[in-house]
Structure 1
């Protein structure tokens, strides 16, 4: 793994300050899935090198280049390393690929608890995912202090769902059926994934990640009771153990963000789960979320990604309303989910610039 000893001090630390609850002169902004298919340069890069998705993820120089592409276009306040949540199932022995027109393809799925024996449960994620850490270190050097760099991981329940259902959408609720039919095996799998996620996140910080996001993208389908039993305890464990392990090895803990999509019922619990930031999808009312979350946690989100299809005036108006509802402190602007692949990059630029402009105006008059 490359050394991080000579990394440049970050000049734009707006996101780090917002995450820690410190005053910010404007609202910081970044986008989930901000590097990728909506950018023409991404398509050109992929075509030029004739490589698949995971080939790019596993080649640090390529992952670094793709991470930097949106930073060259937009005045973003953070980069997020180009990778994928499914690298952990891969390390555990599941073949995973992304096929154009078909989406995510697994070479096998978990069907019964006996299939847990097929997993490489003693896999060393720090060693086996060293390409992610190398990409993080390389990108930190390439950013040269421009803005902070996000590391990330999928959360245990979301990873479990992919490993059983084969994706985020399934005609049958096979993963949720596991929770009811095989509760002990489900906990065993979730605990295994939790341990791997903690090790992975700690290694990302050691490699140079300055802020972390945990994606519980399939949270909403659990409902309140199953979320409280099969998601929240592992999310908490990840937050506390990641920070604890960093302290034990002499590293300062970095801010951590949790994104539990569609978990409207859990805003209070998430706000007291050990994370510095709670990210919200677009179906949650900002005023309601702020009231429930309280003043001790930063919120992130939650513009409807479809508004990036809107006309310029409509998009700007939506951004202004969002800022007025969330307020400009303890807040990080983002979408309520990822950028859609057919979005016009010019609209992303409008969104980013509008966040900065309107939040500066609000701060100047408040």
Structure 2
């Protein structure tokens, strides 16, 4: 059965088991700021999947996704094992196929958010991730065994936008959004396995509330992590360069573009990478830019009528955007591909055995 959810001509209408969770009617989308109104109608304990989707995948832009990918993945360098498993002596996919890896990571996250934790689409995608981690664990023993690394990633994913907004002096998420975000990521965490094969949440549960998630993420970054200039620094510098090459190609703008990333680093990163913080002028400009983007998106610009996943599919069908590899792989069950070649959100495709000696 073809499970593609694309709206391109020739594709079947998705069934209830694979349909996206955000199913607000067209009438719900008639006002300029329809998302806030729709969320107000929902019960966060029942409709948490839809509230998360409405909060994340509609008004987000490609710039936002690349910015978050860069900031978040630079924090993989908090641990030497996390950086090593991603950097791989400079041969990791994040380093040599940066644009593709960024797209695959974001497409995984968007797909999970579009369909929700209980969807077979999401479960299939995360099963691929678990298999990739199991494969890479053979070459980076122990790197995927730390339950707190996973919990940190999910706790940060649940709370980051709210915490960024509050740090900029802006209103954060509503109580409904906070409840829904915590439930969404708590359910998603149950689908992941650590290196031993155990279910992640059987080893360590998610924090019990949104506020506890925020505190967990903060405390994790503030641990006395050791110096990581040998691996974490070059790994992070490469990610920043990839971001600058796409969004700030002119040299004169690169200090500002770099500050947009480093201003939002956890303080610990400056110590373990031996980096200087951006000066107060660049830091002020970066914070002002971020605040202005949030204000424009949340209060001025009309809400998008379709999620970014569907906008990407429509542009790909028109030939103006590269089709998502992850979207195609997961949705088109009939395609016989090696599942370990799909691109894990946090580590990259696993090489086949014959290539390992030279990789």
TM-score calculated relative to the size of structure 2 = 0.31
Pick the structure with more strand per residue.
1
What TM-score do the two structures reach when normalised by structure 1?
Answer: 0.30
> Which structure has more RCO (C-alpha within 8 Å, separation ≥ 6)?
2
